[in-house]
Amino acid sequence: MLLEAGVGAFFPPEQRERFGVSEDRHVLLDGLAAEGVGPGDVDVVVLSHLHFDHAGGVLRAWEPDHPPELVFTDADYVVGRTAWDRAAAPTPRDRASFIAELPGLLEATGRVELVDGPTSSTLGDGYRFHTSDGHTPGLLLTEFDTGDGPVVYASDLVPGVPWVHVPITMGYDRFFELVVQEKAGFLADVAARGVTVVFTHDPDVAASTIRQDDRGRFVAEFSRP
Ligand SMILES: [Zn+2]
């Protein structure tokens, strides 16, 4: 199962710079291969939302004169229904964040589960979702137990350590004040329960637990290697 597809390598070379993409290889596939996992071994892909930097990795690397194609040909795909609807009908402000062909390619597999609530029939017991609408409507944050404590994939609600400070938001967030409100509730919950938060956009810290300091501010409790 994959909880993050990343940006992948679907952009043509001339668009990489425009969208700030430095990778010229499909680093997700490279990473999986290093673990001995091939694309056909992936049975479920959870897409927290369909922004290109989180969902582009489900596409094969760009090749001249080849239309986009899914790389995980045998996988089921789990997406929040609201996030799906947003990708299918983006606004002028966020259209560039989506891959126009992706919903159609996913739909053609016949193996997309659109999630409305906190659980997924594809994933079954052991996984549950927090939802958030501030970054983009219908964001799914997947929580599961590792056997060594619970872990949540925070996606773009808390994309890295700087964003653990509640007032910090991103230019890509659609509804800033909602992000602030949702983060405060989410961080209070994970801090109280000792959940490890996985960050998607932090160049230095992969994951951390959260605590509140003496002033009531949330801080990441990671230990540097
Ligand atoms: Zn995003």
Percent of the chain with pLDDT over 70: 96
- Centroid of ligand 1 to alpha carbon of 214 (angstroms): 32
Type and span of the H or E element at 183: helix 176-193
pLDDT band at 104 (very low <50, low <70, confident <90, very high): very high
Its pTM stands at 0.91
The DSSP bridge partners found for residue 141 are: 130
CB of 182 closer than 8 Å to CB of 169: no
Q: What is the mean pLDDT of residues 38-63?
A: 93
List helix spans (H) across 35-122. Answer: 52-55, 81-88, 102-109
Q: From ligand 1's centre to the CA of 175, what distance in Å?
A: 12
Per residue in 150-162, pLDDT (tens digit) is 999 999 999 999 9
**Partner residues linked to 105 by β-bridges:** none
pLDDT tens, residue by residue, 13-32: 777 776 676 677 888 899 99
Q: What confidence category does residue 225 fall into, taking pLDDT thresholds of 50, 70 and 90? A: low
- Give 32 Cα–ligand 1 centroid separation in angstroms: 22
Other CB atoms closer than 10 Å to residue 116's CB: what's the count?
13
Q: How far is the CA of 73 from the centre of ligand 1 (A)?
A: 24
DSSP output for 128-173: EEEEE-SSSTTEEEEEEE-SSSEEEE-TTTS-SGGGGSTT---TT-
Would you state the structure tokens that stand for residue 70, as one six-digit string?
């899914």
What domains sit in the chain, N to C, each tagged with a CATH number? 1-125 (3.60.15.10), 145-225 (no CATH)
Token pair, residue 31, equals 């990473």
Neighbours of 92 (CB within 10 A): 6
- pLDDT tens digits for range 163-180: 999 999 998 899 999 999
Binning pLDDT at 50, 70 and 90, where does residue 45 land?
A: very high
Q: Is 224's pLDDT higher than 70?
A: no
